[in-house]
Amino acid sequence: MGPSSRRVLKEGLKGIVEEHFGGTVKRWIHHDREGYVHGHLSIIDVDLVVRDREHILIEVKSSISRGDVSELWRIGRLYEKIKGIKPKLAIVSPYIDEKAEKLVNKLRVEIYAV
């Protein structure tokens, strides 16, 4: 899937996410200078829905691997460290790898298959 196809898929799924979660999807961008998420300096960019007092970090992807689940979990821990709020974690995708499916239960990440 090329970059323009991914962008179209992500925009379509964003509408579904906004309708399902009842809020506007925004982006949370953080310069991870300590390497908390990837082990080195990186820019963290994830979708965020704030609904009442609930914060939900959402990854919208064309497919999900075990690494994607682990990454979102680490981003959630970083968000909690920075903001002082424990977020819910959710992944929206039409396809999830079998190994990733096992990990979501362990790490308490919600999956929304479309």
CATH of the domain at 46: 3.40.1350.10
Count of the separate structural domains present in the chain = 1
Please state whether the predicted TM-score (pTM) of the whole model is above 0.75.
yes
Residue 35 makes CB contacts below 8 A (sequence gap 6+) with: 41, 42
Mean pLDDT, residues 3-30: 72
* Rounded CA separation 90/36 (Å): 20
Residue with the larger pLDDT of the pair 89 and 23? 89
Please tell me which residue, 4 or 61, carries the higher pLDDT value: 61
Residue 105 neighbours by CB under 8 Å, 6+ apart:
none
Domain that holds residue 47: 3-113
pLDDT reported for residue 79: 97
